[in-house]
Amino acid sequence: MTENEQEINLPSYSKFSRIAMVIVSMLLIFGGPTYVPYAMSKLNVGGYASAIVGAVLFIIGLVFMLFLVKKKVITE
């Protein structure tokens, strides 16, 4: 199968959904390890638990961004 045939089979996303997916991934990457542990510390959750949750959100954001790049949702 050639590269052009693979691009034809990709699902088409609307402009709004593409933008929304990028914003969600950026919020997970930047907001996950920053604001979530801060909010958890204000709720008297343990330091290790808030750090683990922040790291997990960061990893989820990176995996989601990698998915968007591989599916060519993010283009030039």
> For residue range 18-32, what is the model confidence (pLDDT) as tens digits?
888 889 999 999 998
Q: Which residue has the higher pLDDT, 7 or 71?
A: 71
pLDDT > 80? residue 16: yes
User: According to the model, what pLDDT value does residue 15 have?
Assistant: 83
pLDDT category of residue 14 using cuts at 50, 70 and 90:
confident
Q: What is the pTM of this model?
A: 0.73
Q: What is the pLDDT of residues 45-67, one digit of tens each?
A: 888 888 899 999 999 999 999 98
Q: Would you give the DSSP letter of residue 74? A: S
21 contacts 34 by C-beta, under 8 angstroms: no
- The length of the chain in residues reads 76
* Domain boundaries, given as residue ranges, for the chain: 15-70
DSSP E strands: which ranges in 1-76? none
